[in-house]
């Protein structure tokens, strides 16, 4: 039987990757990164499993760093411990 929490975690990771996909292909230090980060952050999003509709530019930078260090699996949210 499929685990619904696993499906949501995967959907969230896909959402995160969708926002940063164009950015992670850019060479590090390429000009215009901050402009693109802020443009993505300014848009309204349908975030899986959340009522929030915006993502901060710093959060996007964090996701980029995680993706570069650990690939797609690094974008999966951590399971809750409670």
Measured CA to CA, the distance from residue 42 to residue 31 in angstroms comes to 19
Q: Residues 32-73: pLDDT tens digits?
A: 999 999 999 999 999 999 999 999 999 999 999 999 999 999
Residues in the chain: 82
DSSP 75: G
Residue 31 in domain: yes
Q: Is 80 inside a domain boundary?
A: no
Cα 13 → chain centroid? 6
Q: Is 65 part of any domain?
A: yes
Per the structure, the complete domain to which residue 10 belongs is given by: 4-75
Q: Check pLDDT > 60 for residue 1.
A: no
Burial of 64 (0-12, 13-18, 19+ CB in 10 A): buried
Cα–Cα distance measured from residue 36 to residue 44, given in angstroms and rounded to the nearest whole number = 15
């Amino acid at each position: 039987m499929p685990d619904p929490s696993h499906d949501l975690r995967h959907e969230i990771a896909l959402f995160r990757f969708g926002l940063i996909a164009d950015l992670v292909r850019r060479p590090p230090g390429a000009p215009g990164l901050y402009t693109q980060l802020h443009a993505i952050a300014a848009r309204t999003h349908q975030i899986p499993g959340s009522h929030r509709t915006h993502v901060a530019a710093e959060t996007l930078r964090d996701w980029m760093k995680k993706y570069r260090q650990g690939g797609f699996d690094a974008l999966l949210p951590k399971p809750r411990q409670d």
